[in-house]
Amino acid sequence: MAELPSSSDRCCSLLTTLLPIAGWLPKYDLQKLRQDAVAGLTVGLMVIPQGLAYAHVAELPVQYGLYSAFMGPFVYCLLGTSKDASLGPTAIMSLLTASYNAAPGVTPKSAVYAVLMCFACGIVQFLLGAMRLGVIVNFISLPVVSGFTTSAAVTIAWSQVKSLLGLRGISNWLPLSVYEICRDIGRTKVWDLTLGLSCMALLLVLMKIQRDISEASRIDATEDGDVHLGVRSSRAFLAIVCSGRNALIVACASLVAFSLKSVDLGDKLTLTQKVDSSLPPFRPPAFQLMNGTQVVRDVWQIVGDIGIGFAVVPFIGLVESIAIARVFARSGNYRIDASQELIAIGLSNFAGSFVSSYPVTGSFTRTAINYQSGVRTPAGGIFTGTVVLLALALLGDLFQFIPQAALAAVIIVAVLQMTDFRMLRRLWFVSKTDLLEWLVTFLVSLAAGIQYGILCGMGLSFAFLLYRYSRPGLETSTQSSGLAVVTVKSAVRFPAADGLELSLVAAAQPSEGRVRHVCADLSLATGIDFAVVEALKTVRERLRLLSARLFVVARQPEVRQILEQAGLPVFESVQAAESGLSASAGASEVTPLIT
């Protein structure tokens, strides 16, 4: 007899489930600390320029990108189950924030809406996790996710073209912005365009060098060759430079802008506006939009303005983060707890709202860098968050010299890696319905907004799913005895009940006009429900009026039990049903042969 776990074992198991740090912290050592420090610092150098750039996408002052980048890693270190995941501002969440961060008739945009969304987002995600509803991400098809991320990447990249060209007053709605940019192309600022394209080119070159270094290191490890110390040192140095390429490019561009300003040419480049260089105060989010002492919008008006955003933003955040965590968990051969991830993301957003963060989630690019840098535990996030805090405290005054074209270059290069047009070819050969889901999600997102695109894609995906449920695969055949057999090839539920009923009645009345006895073969069915049972009862009564009988074959114990409790004749096989037909010839009712 197996020994039952003691109460202390159960308490430890519960503690590690609710507080995952309790599972890995006792095993922590200096080797893991060193690797976590390297990975955390590398990600920190990446998140600073990305945070500044993504705040630009969210249409907020750039410091809000850094406000959103440090609390998540700290909280996730305590509660997260993925060693690789890196929480913070992302392109998609920034775009969603910009979509809902608007009070009617109020300009410029205030951060009140964004921070309040972060607060609400945290509560919703935490409650979903506490109710163990992390499995809901399994109901979003891969084509919908791919179409959504691709459209978001295209939308975000195009939204930065105006900054790349130095244009102002361009609409944020993609179709209109295409027209306005084409109309105003003659007002392009050559300095902005030159700097932006140069930054993009350098970023792409550094990315190529990083890939080549990774490939060379992989080949050397596979061949177990003796690599010269100088070569290893050079590769390590280049790898560090390439990993911090965003920070390097932004720093160089800022140096160019500072040099131009020192010689009275500061107006040649469009720079980031002067920002608050202090750390954010720790306080609850504002529930009113104020103009001095006057209340412009109260909490209920703000809720009405954001509307469906309170559902869309948390949902997209959880989908993005859990999908990323699962990808790297498979690569690292470990498992994550989706519901615990929701709790971690939710509390990260909730706590972040107290330091003026807008909604955050897992970042694919930073998680990939974390993974490639050899992170061992979520403690790497502590180093990332610390780097961001130091940048806010020490470098805030320098942010005003960052050219907007440089931030646009960082964003465009980052988001174009999210596109997945190659999936179109695979879907064409595999599934036309999945291809339609991808196209609808992509096109609606471009035309109406990504929040509507994901909803349309999910709606279409569910419609196809219900359609497949309503067509479980029915095959009609005739036995030598004349018994018509309708075979159900999968589980049959309520959407398919009406179709099953029609098929059984049609099998009893063939074109030649002779009424036949019918057998519903459910031997392959793994489950049925109340609607199916009622449909079978209806068929039995309709056949009785035609002086025909219904036989039901079922093998699964659960299915047999449901049918027997409903008073339907149940047989073990079609042959047993035929025997029952012969034995009861001339009778008005058939006695089921249960063996």
Q: What is the CATH number of the domain that holds 518?
A: 3.30.750.24
Number of domains, the chain:
3
Mark whether 492 and 556 lie in a shared domain.
yes
| Cβ atoms of residues 170 and 162 within 8 Å | yes
**Crossing angle between the packed helical segments 142-159 and 432-448, to the nearest 10 degrees:** 30
Cα within 13 Å of Cα(500), Cβ side: 33
Write down the pLDDT at residue 465. Answer: 87
Q: Specify the 3-state DSSP secondary structure of 340.
A: helix
First to last CA, the chain: 34
Q: Is residue 16 a part of any domain in this protein?
A: no
Q: Is residue 590 a part of any domain in this protein?
A: no
Q: Dihedral of the CA atoms 517, 522, 523, 525 (nearest 10)?
A: 170
421: Cα separation from own chain's centroid: 18
Write down the pLDDT at residue 333. Answer: 86
Q: Cα angle vertex 41, ends 275, 209, to 5°?
A: 100
174: Cα separation from own chain's centroid: 22
The tokens describing 120, both together, are 């609400």
Q: Determine if the peptide bond prior to 284 is cis (ω within 30°).
A: no
| Cβ atoms of residues 440 and 461 within 8 Å | no
Using CA atoms, how far apart are residues 273 and 385, in angstroms rounded to an integer?
24
Which string of b and e fits 423-438 if b means at least 16 CB within 10 Å?
bbeebeeeeebbbbbb
Using CA atoms, how far apart are residues 392 and 70, in angstroms rounded to an integer?
10
Among 413, 403, 447, 437, which residue's Cα sits nearest to residue 155?
Answer: 447
Q: Is residue 381 a part of any domain in this protein?
A: yes
Mark whether 397 and 516 lie in a shared domain.
no
Write down the pLDDT at residue 5. Answer: 58
Q: Is residue 398 a part of any domain in this protein?
A: yes
Write down the pLDDT at residue 595. Answer: 33
Q: Is residue 14 a part of any domain in this protein?
A: no
Backbone angles phi, psi at 330, to 5 degrees: -65, -40
Using CA atoms, how far apart are residues 62 and 395, in angstroms rounded to an integer?
13
Write down the pLDDT at residue 490. Answer: 80
Which residue do the tokens 């420090």 mark? 37
Mark whether 516 and 551 lie in a shared domain.
yes
Mark whether 358 and 446 lie in a shared domain.
no
Using CA atoms, how far apart are residues 480 and 494, in angstroms rounded to an integer?
32
Mark whether 331 and 446 lie in a shared domain.
no
Q: Is residue 64 a part of any domain in this protein?
A: yes
Name the strand (E) or helix (H) holding 381.
Answer: helix 380-395
Mark whether 443 and 482 lie in a shared domain.
no
- The Cβ of residue 397 has, within 10 Å, a number of other Cβ atoms equal to 10
Q: Specify the 3-state DSSP secondary structure of 361.
A: strand
Mark whether 394 and 258 lie in a shared domain.
yes
Write down the pLDDT at residue 128. Answer: 94
Q: Is residue 5 a part of any domain in this protein?
A: no
CA distances to 141, 217, 451 from 365, in Å: 22, 21, 22
Amino acid 571 reads: F
Mark whether 175 and 137 lie in a shared domain.
yes
Using CA atoms, how far apart are residues 204 and 200, in angstroms rounded to an integer?
6
Kindly give the pairing relationship between strand 474-478 and strand 484-488. antiparallel
Last residue of a domain, one of 438, 453, 470: 470
Backbone angles phi, psi at 573, to 5 degrees: -155, 165
Mark whether 478 and 466 lie in a shared domain.
no
What does pLDDT average to in each consecutive run of 10 residues of the chain (595 residues)? 58 75 90 90 88 89 92 95 93 89 62 93 95 84 88 89 88 87 92 94 92 79 65 81 85 91 81 76 89 82 89 90 85 88 96 96 87 89 94 83 89 86 92 94 90 89 86 84 87 88 88 80 89 93 89 91 89 87 56 37
Write down the pLDDT at residue 222. Answer: 64
Name the strand (E) or helix (H) holding 376.
Answer: none
Q: Where are any strands of DSSP class E within 147-282? A: none
User: Domain span at residue 437?
Assistant: 430-470
Mark whether 183 and 145 lie in a shared domain.
yes
Using CA atoms, how far apart are residues 18 and 436, in angstroms rounded to an integer?
41
- Burial class from Cβ neighbours inside 10 Å (0-12, 13-18, 19+) for residue 28 reads middle
Name the strand (E) or helix (H) holding 520.
Answer: strand 518-521
Q: Is residue 318 a part of any domain in this protein?
A: yes
Among 531, 524, 519, 503, which residue's Cα sits nearest to residue 571?
Answer: 519
Which string of b and e fits 346-385 if b means at least 16 CB within 10 Å?
bbbbbbbbbbbbbbbbbbbbbbbbbbebebbbbbbbbbbb
Mark whether 123 and 146 lie in a shared domain.
yes
The tokens describing 439, both together, are 């196209």
Write down the pLDDT at residue 76. Answer: 95
Mark whether 388 and 446 lie in a shared domain.
no
Q: Which residues pair with 520 in a beta bridge?
A: 486, 552
| Cβ atoms of residues 384 and 44 within 8 Å | yes
Among 289, 301, 293, which residue's Cα sits nearest to residue 110?
Answer: 289
Write down the pLDDT at residue 587. Answer: 46
